[in-house]
Structure 1
Amino acid sequence: MSETKHSVINRGIVNFPRKEARTLRFSLGAPRSARALGDGSRVVFLRSGGQEDPVTSMWMSSWNSQGKHCETLIADPRKLMQGAAIGEHLGHADDDVPDEEKARRERSRESAEGIVDYSVDDDGERAAFALGGNIWVADLSATVADESSSEGRHARCIHVVDPTDSSSLGAQDSPKLNPTISPDGSLIAYTTGRSLVVIRLSQNDVAESGDDIKSEELNAPIVAAVDLAESAGEDVRIGLAEFVAGEEMDRYAGFWWSPDSRQLLIEHYDASNEDVWYISDPANPDHPASRRRYPRALTNNAKVGLLLLDIWKPQLSRVAWDTAAYEYLASVHWVAGHDALILVQNRRQNGDQILQIPPFESSHDSATAEQSSSRYVLDNNEISDLHSILTHVAQTHSDDCWLDLTPGVPTWSPKGKLIDVRADETNDTNRLYSDGRAISPVGWQIRSVVDASDDSILAIASKDPRSFDVVRFSYDGNAEVLNDEPGLWTASQSGEGIVIAGRGMDTARSQMTQFFTVRDSVSHETSAKTAAIDNFAAECGFTPNVEFVTMGKHALRAAIVRPSEGSGYEHAEKLPVLVKPYGGPGHQQVVLAQSYYWASQWWADQGFIVLTADGRGTTGRGPAWDRAIMDDMAQVTLDDQIEAVQALPEFAPEADLDRVSIIGWSYGGFLSALAVLRAPEVFHAACAGAPPTDWTLYDTHYTERYLGLDEDTYRRNSIIDDAPKLRRPLMLIHGFADDNVSVANSLRLSEALLSAGRAHTVLPLNGITHMTNDEKVAENLLLLQRNFLKSSLSLR
């Protein structure tokens, strides 16, 4: 390697903390959230304008009539907000993001601004999205590529409002959340949290708005609304997902369209039985604390139910199931030609049911429906008194430990096969099932289902736990991997098209590629079109020096990162060790994606050998591996990190096991604090970020899955009582605005340490949530942790 390359690497390492923070971990400017449309020849995706631009726009990828690939700007939030008569926005496009939308973004770990989510109709002709609590619609059918170039032309976008004189009780002057267009593109449903509103778009509403971004407001009449009366209580919501659904189930929707666009399933929940928690701003004592409900482990959950709104009849009904036995609404799927499916779980999550909601016949008179509107005002008693629709049990499952949730299932194939994912414990594989018959091969761990056709099922699955592959499984058991290299991949499919996005170890930037199969209508011969979608994200300036190994008696998958050539530490005979795990259930750190090791490389070039190991409980290894942590989460996950450290010299003789530090965030923060408290002979210093130190302070759905309902189990797995054991340097880091892992966790451990006379360091982050998105905070956190660990280990 030349001296010039050494300089480039060193410059990349020096600039890494600030650059990583300013680019949101090198994500800005990268395409994301892709969805194939209609026949599959078009793909909608989101992307910001550059390496440090946080405002995300909507784009389309397609081919013009000359076969040139085009990337067409559909909607630029800055232009939309400047032109719209909805307030002046001279700064960020997200100045007016409603609190409810901020909460949803926190649950989904959404860091960007602008257009961060959208919905499209079945034909891919219209898209709906929210900006600043208002609704916008883009005419995708008019987004055609220019005949003479590959640039394309802008979509027609217009701001949609419902008339103020017919606003529903809870909708007037309230932010409009989660606008979702109906499958036929004629209606939009949205929620305010206290109202679920359906508005109508006429056939030409958007098309008549002009050839470019428009500032006019389109008055769309309300055709149906369900409002909560004030007497329903301040903690009752409609059309929104409750906290644990978004935080733990990856379910962010609170209402769902029927395939024929005539009906809506609508969630309502009452959180008044949950604990009341307050999040304060200590740096500004004149600011009032914000009040919220939190489903703390071993306490009450929100009461969740479903309504069925028939827009055409019109009629509002209540969907009935045994909510006392199955209190969690885990997923909802509605496929054309088949009953809606819901998956419900019991409190312990060791029993579930797939329930069918039978069809509700509606008299369809579109002419009448267009002239009238229906409105319902409900309190809790009125919800209970609604006509009940009884569900049918399609399948019931149980497990000695717990039942996992898999995104995308249960669902139907077009011809009515019930598709599900379950643990085949005999073969230690999470497998696809069709009408109760296992169809995916043993050894392929299914992570999510993308699409189910009558010929095959498209899924994200792993044979090597380090690779999330896009795999097409046929019903006869064949598996075809569609991504070209191992890595971290996702996909969207429609018609004859598919878009695959993700990253591997070979390139710094993520990749997004569109594939479309063209079929000649006469000869029926096929040809393929492929296009790579542009990525404008910054690069860190170095390639991580990673070695993947399998270590210890449990065959732990691990990654070892060594100093770069030219770093000054490349030939060191001894290097202190930095253990950098997540290490907890439901998440992996050792994957075949280069971006996972950029921060590790920065640490290595500060003079450490960096070790990351995925222990028992992490995903991708099968049911037995997942469930090994049952009731003993703390000790099992710690034992695996100890095992990895002790095995390290076999692969890295330069590792100095007399100077071992550990850092982590969230569960990784818990594991870091746990390590120096319970294994000080192995771990000599720790930085613990946002650690859940007392598991009774974390939410029900996550914690009770692993620790059950016995208070003694929680005491054994928490670390407050371990405080007197501390004899190693420990830094606790926590954001005061964290509504996921409350700052009370770090404060209670600090209090216990103080009571025991144990010195420690606390780094409070005012105004910071569970995501450290402030660039100054993110940058300085790395530097402060480095300095703390070097001082603690007596390093220069």
Structure 2
Amino acid sequence: MKGGELWVQSLDGDGAARALTQGATETRFWGLAEFIAAEELSRQRGYWWSPDGKQLLALNVDERDVPVKTRAQIFSDRTTMTQQRYPGAGENNARVTAWTLQVADGRMTPLPLPSDAEYIARAGWFGDGTPWLQTLTRDQHKLALTEYAHGAGPGRTVIDERDPAWVEVHDDLQEIDGLTLSGQPALLWSSEASGRRQLVLVDRRTGERRPLTNEPEPVAHRVCSDGKTVVYAAARERGRSRELFAIDLNGTSRPLDGAQPRQWRDARGDGDCSRVLVTRGAWGEPPTLSLQAVSAAKAGAKPVALPGDAPDALLARIVPKPQVVDITAADGRTPLNALYFAPLDGKAGPHPVITMAYGGPGTSTTNWNWSRDTALIAYWQRRGYGVFTLDTRGMQNRDREFTRAHRLAFGAVDVNDLFAAVRQLPKQVAGVDAKRIGFFGWSYGGFLAERAMLDADTPLASAVAVAPPTDWTLYDTAYTERYLGMPQDGKGGQTDAYRQANLVMRAKLLTKPLLIVHGTADDNVLFEHTLRLTEALQNEARPFELMIYPGKAHGIAGRSAKLHLYRTIDAFFARTLAR
């Protein structure tokens, strides 16, 4: 790619490079993923070679109608104004079109998208040389797999996946050569139609589905397949563990060697899925790599451990010992995953607690995998705090009902579950001082922290919010609309979902200590979020604390900045959770 165009160059050095496409401008380009595809749909590319190497399936991106946002990157010695084509919730997305390109002569053929398609989530070629696209509607209630016979339109819908909340995109599509349906290889696909994500086999001609897996908990994703066996990862222990399995096309599955409770395993397969590279983590145990055979005949062979840096000897001495806590969601029936870490300062009597939760969709933090917060938890234990970690409804690795709890409900279900958990904790764990429970959250967790404090009924004593969204109309289309829908109510105002999640409108409800932290060059959650809430709190004469990091982005990277950040948080909790 050069200058927004796709170029080809013979590998034998015969002839000069030549452009396959033309017409690129400042706002129009070929072969790259647009912002939304890369940021929210996990599609990082915009072209795919055909199996015979004679054609390209390429995407053309036109950003002319995407609003230009100007943001300030504030450093200690300068301010840089950056302009970016950024589609905020309810605004225009880039227009993306699909084409097949003949490498020999550059001949281009358009692939017409379904009339309701807004996003191209995935693209590729079937083994017989037929190009395909996976497209999402703007509301993300429908994901369609469309194929184009002879590399031209109109397309034919092979799979029509629907969900009244939203459809999750995935990378599980694969042709299964060992099973022929209607004269073509079966397609491997994943679906949540059963209530939890499972793998199914699909007839490419008729669309008829045949269940493949029947796991008691959701399948995480396909790892690989050799055409007769599929290796996949699936949740265990209510989403707190992940294990690896192999299944034949008759539905007979077996765990890969090494399965055991309270661990987190994932893998990537080699070209023919005969071996997998396994990553294994566990609580207090950093991930390790091993090479493992898939074949049952070789299952007795020991995995080959791959060398890596040994954990620091200090780790074994400080690893926090978790206590599983039985917590029920605010609905009174759904169990939530929660862990508690008792203080280790040797003092008797009621003690303060720091609660840690993310709360948002797309991830889970309370599980048996290695946690980057291990050392932080251990430090707070030695400072005399109990540490309470929690996954609220809406987070990942559970069934569909659980993961769809955020639908039109940012700042509602998550906050209700957090409050319910904090109120249950003193009844479950001896010594917890119910009046000295704080909260620490980052990104969506920062939103949760602020929302929890901007509530007249909060049971929290104080909270720290790092890089928090405050007004979801400032965030991008695909992420925000997936969960909250369009922001406009058709009458010139915002919908209830956006008003409910707008923290600026709740500023007058702050009555307890709140520390807000933000990097001034954050290009994910813009600094504008914090500026809006800061102004609202000042207009309401509500005292709060603010720490900014000049020139720092969403992660506030850098050893010195991180050290200062955690010392600031430490000092804040020492003041606000003191007896």
TM-score when normalising by structure 1: 0.65
Distance 1:772-1:481 versus aligned 2 partners, 3 A rule: farther
Structure 2 counterparts to residues 25-44 of structure 1, below 5 A: none
1:446 matched to 2:219:
yes
Is contact 1:509-1:535 (8 Å) kept? no
Instruction: Report the counterpart of residue 729 of structure 1 in structure 2.
Output: 513
Distance 1:717-1:252 versus aligned 2 partners, 3 A rule: same
Is contact 2:241-2:368 (8 Å) kept? yes
Aligned pair partner of 1:455 in 221, 224, 228: 228
Aligned pair partner of 1:413 in 158, 169, 176: 176
1:329 matched to 2:120:
yes
Deviation (angstroms), 1:661: 0.8
1:350 matched to 2:147:
no
Structure 2 counterparts to residues 262-411 of structure 1, below 5 A: 262-283=54-75, 288-312=80-104, 314-322=106-114, 324-337=115-128, 339-360=130-151, 389-406=153-170, 408-411=171-174
Instruction: Report the counterpart of residue 653 of structure 1 in structure 2.
Output: 430
Instruction: Report the counterpart of residue 792 of structure 1 in structure 2.
Output: 576
Distance 1:430-1:463 versus aligned 2 partners, 3 A rule: same
Deviation (angstroms), 1:348: 0.3
Distance 1:283-1:449 versus aligned 2 partners, 3 A rule: same
> What's the secondary structure of 1:675's corresponding residue?
helix
Residue type of the partner of 1:452?
Answer: S
Structure 2 counterparts to residues 573-588 of structure 1, below 5 A: 573-588=349-364
Residue type of the partner of 1:409?
Answer: D
- The worse-fitting range, judged by mean Cα deviation, of 699-708 and 671-680 is 671-680
In structure 2, what is the Cα distance between the partners aligned to 1:525 and 1:455? 16
In structure 1, what is the Cα distance between the partners aligned to 2:15 and 2:384? 64
Deviation (angstroms), 1:305: 1.6
Distance 1:395-1:525 versus aligned 2 partners, 3 A rule: closer
Aligned pair partner of 1:226 in 20, 35, 52: 20
Distance 1:641-1:261 versus aligned 2 partners, 3 A rule: same
Over aligned residue pairs, what C-alpha RMSD do you find?
2.5
Distance 1:753-1:455 versus aligned 2 partners, 3 A rule: same
Tell me the alpha carbon deviations over residues 174-209 of structure 1, each in whole angstroms, 9 at most, x when there is no partner. xxxxxxxxxxxxxxxxx346122233333xxxxxxx
Structure 2 counterparts to residues 617-632 of structure 1, below 5 A: 617-632=394-409
Is contact 2:522-2:553 (8 Å) kept? yes
Structure 2 counterparts to residues 736-775 of structure 1, below 5 A: 736-775=520-559
In structure 2, what is the Cα distance between the partners aligned to 1:773 and 1:538? 23
> What's the secondary structure of 1:634's corresponding residue?
coil
1:423 matched to 2:187:
no
> What's the secondary structure of 2:285's corresponding residue?
coil
Distance 1:198-1:529 versus aligned 2 partners, 3 A rule: farther
Deviation (angstroms), 1:272: 2.4
Instruction: Report the counterpart of residue 560 of structure 1 in structure 2.
Output: 340
1:196 matched to 2:11:
no
Q: Percent identity?
A: 27
Residue type of the partner of 2:175?
Answer: W
Distance 1:507-1:609 versus aligned 2 partners, 3 A rule: closer
Is contact 1:348-1:705 (8 Å) kept? yes
Residue type of the partner of 1:515?
Answer: Q
Instruction: Report the counterpart of residue 326 of structure 2 in structure 1.
Output: 550
Deviation (angstroms), 1:656: 1.0
In structure 1, what is the Cα distance between the partners aligned to 2:298 and 2:464? 61
In structure 1, what is the Cα distance between the partners aligned to 2:370 and 2:223? 24
Residue type of the partner of 1:424?
Answer: A
Distance 1:781-1:326 versus aligned 2 partners, 3 A rule: same
In structure 1, what is the Cα distance between the partners aligned to 2:108 and 2:476? 32
Is contact 1:445-1:462 (8 Å) kept? yes
In structure 2, what is the Cα distance between the partners aligned to 1:476 and 1:444? 20
> What's the secondary structure of 2:246's corresponding residue?
strand
Is contact 1:517-1:528 (8 Å) kept? no
Instruction: Report the counterpart of residue 470 of structure 1 in structure 2.
Output: 244
In structure 2, what is the Cα distance between the partners aligned to 1:339 and 1:443? 35
In structure 1, what is the Cα distance between the partners aligned to 2:173 and 2:213? 15
In structure 1, what is the Cα distance between the partners aligned to 2:394 and 2:369? 20
In structure 1, what is the Cα distance between the partners aligned to 2:543 and 2:295? 68
TM-score when normalising by structure 2: 0.88
Instruction: Report the counterpart of residue 244 of structure 1 in structure 2.
Output: 36
In structure 2, what is the Cα distance between the partners aligned to 1:507 and 1:632? 34
Unpaired stretches in structure 2, ≥5 consecutive residues? 203-208
Residue type of the partner of 1:269?
Answer: V
Instruction: Report the counterpart of residue 367 of structure 1 in structure 2.
Output: none
Aligned residues: 548
Deviation (angstroms), 1:597: 4.4
Residue type of the partner of 1:431?
Answer: Q
Is contact 2:190-2:198 (8 Å) kept? yes
In structure 2, what is the Cα distance between the partners aligned to 1:619 and 1:290? 34
Deviation (angstroms), 1:739: 1.5
Instruction: Report the counterpart of residue 676 of structure 1 in structure 2.
Output: 453
> What's the secondary structure of 1:752's corresponding residue?
helix
Tell me the alpha carbon deviations over residues 501-543 of structure 1, each in whole angstroms, 9 at most, x when there is no partner. 3333266331110124799xxxx99984632111126536221
Distance 1:575-1:260 versus aligned 2 partners, 3 A rule: farther
Deviation (angstroms), 1:651: 2.9
In structure 2, what is the Cα distance between the partners aligned to 1:740 and 1:466? 28
In structure 1, what is the Cα distance between the partners aligned to 2:335 and 2:298? 49
Deviation (angstroms), 1:601: 2.4
Instruction: Report the counterpart of residue 533 of structure 1 in structure 2.
Output: 306
Is contact 2:264-2:282 (8 Å) kept? no
Aligned pair partner of 1:572 in 348, 357, 360: 348
In structure 2, what is the Cα distance between the partners aligned to 1:772 and 1:525? 47
